[in-house]
Amino acid sequence: MASLTLTGVELSRLTKVFAVTTLVLTAGISLFRWGLLDHPLGQAVLQSVFLAITLTGLLFAGFYKFGWRLGPLASWMGRPDLRGVWLGHLASSYFKDGQPIPIVFVIRQTYLDISICSYTEKQRGQSTFEALIQNDRHAITVLAYIYELQRHYAGAQERVKGTGEVELLGGDRLRGFYWTNSPTHGSICLQRKSTQCEGIHEFEDAVQKWPISDWPISGF
């Protein structure tokens, strides 16, 4: 599930940009219709408003889908790009020997929302709520999420709910902790292997593309 991850300030700024863009386009198109096409001013403005709103909507759709992460826009907007396939290991309190378990995160993101699918050899999960938290004062970015795991047994299926928090380190590493209602808890360490999510729908897909021996295990 993808949740809106904008702060109130970011949403307000985005709304203002949308309004200003619409006004600028309306003025420009109106002047063109009135000055060059000799349309009556009132008619030119009225017709231009609807066209400007349509054009602004198209520009916004392109921006929030992929434009926000291109070139200087990414740094100017201040939104970290977490899209892609992340591979690593988790350590769970369920296993007393502390043996790390290979895990895959597939993160899909637009400017407005973000979602997480996770895969291990025996279970899969998906986020039901996500929040991207940025502390500019301390230069810390944290991805917090609520998720649901599905465990399949012979003739039965178990659902486990939990929460997690991972901190973005250096742009391509995530490290943090998780808790479940089973109850278990543990730590997790991931590294991004690709910014493309296509083709990774289960644990085996990631294993075929990247051998587990190459998955990061630092932090355990």
- DSSP-derived letter for residue 35 is I
Instruction: Tell me the per-residue pLDDT of 163-209, one tens digit each, with 9 for 90 and over.
Output: 999 999 988 999 999 999 988 899 999 999 999 999 999 999 999 99
- Residue 27's H or E segment, with its range, is helix 8-31
Is residue 75 a contact partner of residue 202, using CB atoms and an 8 Å limit?
no
The band of 1, judged by pLDDT with boundaries at 50, 70 and 90, is very low
Torsion of CA 194, 200, 205, 210, to 10 degrees: 0
Residue 79 C-beta-side C-alpha neighbours within 13 Å: 28
Q: Looking at the predicted structure, is the pLDDT value of residue 60 above 50?
A: yes
Is residue 59 a contact partner of residue 151, using CB atoms and an 8 Å limit?
no
* Domains of the chain by residue range: 8-77, 84-214
Q: pTM for this one?
A: 0.81
